[in-house]
Amino acid sequence: MERPKQPWLHSAWVDGAFILSPPFLCLLAIVLFPGFFQQHVKSLPVPAWVLLVLLIDVGHVYSTLFRTYLEEETRLTRRRLLLWVPLGAWAGGMLLYSLGEGVFWRVLAYLAVYHFVRQQYGFMRLYSRKEPRLRAEHRFDTLCVYAATLLPLLYWHLEGGRHFNWFIADDFLRLSFPAAAPWVAYLNVALFLVYLGKEAWVFWRHRRVNLPRFLVMTGTFLAWYIGIVHYNGDLIFTTFNVVSHGIPYLALVWISRKRPQNRLVQPVRRTWRERLTVGLVGGGFFIGLVVVLAYLEEGLWDALVWREHPEVFSTFQVLPQVEDGVVLAVLVPLLALPQITHYLLDGFIWKASRKRQPNPMAEGKTGA
């Protein structure tokens, strides 16, 4: 009996290196360098902030451009969406900020949480797309992936003593019920053990294992439980949170982007060296653009609003810091617009991919 092929989105090594391995590599780094991570419980060192927040977190936001505004087919078919989402996001952001700075950041934090949680569900769905439609098993996997993300967040809300925030201090609601927090953690671990038992039973009964889906589920549990519940450190949380989300998203955009084609011209057969050269040039443009845009955005944030990393954005320090509340109500939502637009458009672009054959994303939606 022939073994079923694993449902890779691109290939075993690409999926493994850029989509599936990030949470495991984060854990390996923490195990190998515990002292370094323990030194930074309440704040991030500047080099870590540059790598994690600037290059990966903010950078992955701009990768959405390659599935939207820089993609000809999407520009033509969804031009109204691409126009009205940022305009509506800016207007909504100004309204929220006018109600209070805390209101704006709290709504943005929960929108980000929804975005992060849905990405994990989306990857689970993508890697389940070639399996038999077993309703009970699918529902249980859905329960487990949501439990692996939402239960640590519930623990965070109940326990309330974390040394990290999502965006700013007190952006999450505090439920102030710390006695219930350990029970949430126990439930989280128990559900994951039941999931492992289910996978063992499926392998024993049907002699099949969906390796990428298993790694997505396991990596999700590790990143969210260890990063939020087990450890209470800013650097550990940010490492798990940003790397496990941003790197897979960048990889997904790269492998699923729509390449322009001229149907009147026969495709050119290239040697492996030519393909490598084209890939390196394209990849360099992809990474270079998102890094430049991320640096420009964060430079404006730092100069006009935060003033936290002048050593990183020295050329921006000639700009005056804005303190007027009315101006901030316009400026802050404008600076946050790429991020908000990323969250909102992301709910549409992967659903739209269902119609784009033979896109490897065609049978699932990521909400990534």
Over residues 157-216, the pLDDT tens digits come to 999 889 999 999 889 998 888 999 999 999 999 999 999 999 998 888 877 889 999 999
**Which pLDDT score, from 0 to 100, does residue 278 have?**
66
Q: Cis peptide before 358, with omega less than 30 degrees from 0?
A: yes
Distances (CA, A) of 278 to 270, 271, 272, 273: 10, 11, 10, 9
DSSP string across 326-342? HHHHHHHHHHTHHHHHH
Q: Is the pLDDT of residue 351 over 70?
A: no
Cα-flanking dihedrals φ and ψ of residue 337, to 5°? -60, -45
Neighbour tally for 9: CB within 10 Å: 20
Round to whole Å and give the CA distance between 306 and 302: 5
Encode 225-253: b = buried (16+ Cβ within 10 Å), e = exposed. bbbbbebbbbbbbbbbbbbbbbbbbbbbb
Round to whole Å and give the CA distance between 143 and 215: 16
pTM: 0.89
Q: Tell me the pLDDT band of 360, cut-offs 50, 70 and 90.
A: very low
**Which pLDDT score, from 0 to 100, does residue 270 have?**
66
**Percent of residues, the chain, with pLDDT higher than 70:** 88
Average pLDDT, the chain: 88
**Neighbouring residues of 9: CB distance < 8 A, sequence distance ≥ 6:** 15, 19, 126, 127, 212, 252, 255, 256, 360, 361
Round to whole Å and give the CA distance between 247 and 43: 22
DSSP string across 217-269? HHHHHIIIIIIIII---HHHHHHHHHHHHHHHHHHHHHHH------TTSPPPP
Round to whole Å and give the CA distance between 325 and 97: 9
Q: Is the pLDDT of residue 359 over 50?
A: no
Residue 42 near residue 163, CB atoms below 8 Å: yes
**Which pLDDT score, from 0 to 100, does residue 352 have?**
47
Q: 363: which DSSP letter?
A: T
Neighbour tally for 161: CB within 10 Å: 9
> What average pLDDT score do residues 297-319 get?
95
pLDDT greater at residue 43 or residue 105: 105
Nearest to 196 by CA among 210, 211, 214, 178: 214
pLDDT greater at residue 129 or residue 57: 57
Distances (CA, A) of 301 to 29, 104, 165, 295: 30, 16, 18, 10
> What average pLDDT score do residues 307-324 get?
94
Q: Tell me the pLDDT band of 264, cut-offs 50, 70 and 90.
A: very low
> What average pLDDT score do residues 13-37 get?
95
DSSP string across 119-152? HHHHHHHHTTTTS---HHHHHHHHHHHHHHHHHH
Nearest to 173 by CA among 114, 109, 118: 109
Q: Tell me the pLDDT band of 133, cut-offs 50, 70 and 90.
A: low
**Which pLDDT score, from 0 to 100, does residue 269 have?**
65
Q: Is the pLDDT of residue 241 over 60?
A: yes
Which helix (H) or strand (E) is 343 found in, with range? Answer: helix 337-352
